[in-house]
Amino acid sequence: MGKRRFLVTGGSQGIGAAVVEQARGAGHDVVFTGRDQGRIDEVTSKTGGFGLAADIADPAANAHTVEVCDDRMGGVDVLINNAGYAYRANIGELDLDAMRRMFDVNVFGLVDLTNRIVPSMKERGGGDVINIASTSGMKGGAGGTAYGGSKWALRGISQCWQAELRPHSIRVVCICPSEVQTNFGGLKGRNNPNKLFADDIASTIMAALEMPRRALWPELAVFAANPWKEG
C-alpha cells in the first residue's frame, strides 16, 4: 500500500488513536477527529497527525471535517468510521431520547460523513471505508437493545455499501471487535494482558488495507484467543 490519506473519527483515544499511530508510523497522512481537546492534543503531539475537534452527530461539523481534509490532504482515500459510544438499558427501562442521541453518533452521523466523502472516492475510482461495528452487533445480549441495535444496523449498512461501491473499486470492510481494553464507556482498569488491546484492532484494520486491491474482507470479527487465562 502506497502513501494514502486517512480520516479517522474518534481518533483521540482507544482504537482510533491506535489507528492514527499505526497509519502515521507507516508514512500516511492522517486527519483525525475527537471531542476532547486535551486528548486530541496528546495524539497530535505523539503521532504528528492533524487533530480536529468535531462532533460527528453535527452535520455542520462533518462538512467542516471534509473541508479540512480537502485543504490539508487534497481528499480522503481511507475513511475509518470509528467514533461511537454505548448506551445500555434493559427493555422496559429504555430512555428513547438517550437511544436516539446514541444513534445520531453511531449510525446517522457516520452515514452523513460517509455520504459526503464517497462521491470524491467515486470520482477518483477507488478508496476504502472501514466501519467499526462490534460483536455486540452479531449476537444479542441483555441490555443491548440500543447499543447492539446500532451495531447490527452498521453491519447491514456496510453490506448495502459493499453492494453499491464495489463496482467503483471502493472497498467497505466491517470490523467487529470483541471486548477491547480501552476507556470505552468510562470503564478503566481492565488490565488482563490476555484480552484485546486497541493496537490489535488497529493492526487488523491495517492488514485489511494491505490486501491486494482485488481482494476484500467484507466483515471480520476479532476475539481474544484466551481471555479467561490468568495474567
Is 147 assigned a catalytic role? yes
pLDDT at 152 over 50: yes
Q: Where are the domains of the chain?
A: 5-222
Residue 227: which pLDDT band, with cuts at 50, 70 and 90?
Answer: confident
Do the Cβ atoms of 83 and 112 come closer than 8 Å?
A: no
- Which residue among the candidates 6, 147, 161, 184 is catalytic per the annotation? 147
Please provide the average confidence, as pLDDT, over all residues in the chain.
Answer: 94
Could you report the per-residue pLDDT of 22-53, keeping only the tens digit for each? 999 999 999 999 999 999 999 999 999 999 99
Which grid coordinates belong to 209?
488495507
Cα–Cα nearest to 82, from 121, 44, 31: 31
Report, as an integer, the average pLDDT of 163-173. Answer: 98
pLDDT at 187 over 60: no
Could you report the per-residue pLDDT of 95-147, keeping only the tens digit for each? 999 999 999 999 999 999 999 999 999 999 999 999 999 999 999 999 999 99
Do the Cβ atoms of 117 and 171 come closer than 8 Å?
A: no
Enumerate the β-bridge partners of residue 180: 196
Beta strands in 111-218 (DSSP E): 127-132, 170-177
Output the pLDDT for position 185: 52
More confident residue, 180 or 50: 50
Residue 188: which pLDDT band, with cuts at 50, 70 and 90?
Answer: low
Give percent of the chain with pLDDT exceeding 70: 95
Do the Cβ atoms of 105 and 56 come closer than 8 Å?
A: yes
* pTM: predicted TM-score of the whole model, two decimal places: 0.94
CATH class of 5-222: alpha beta
What span, in angstroms and rounded, lies between the C-alpha atoms of 170 and 127? 5
Which grid coordinates belong to 226?
484466551
Output the pLDDT for position 219: 97
In the chain, how many H helices and how many E strands?
Answer: 7, 7
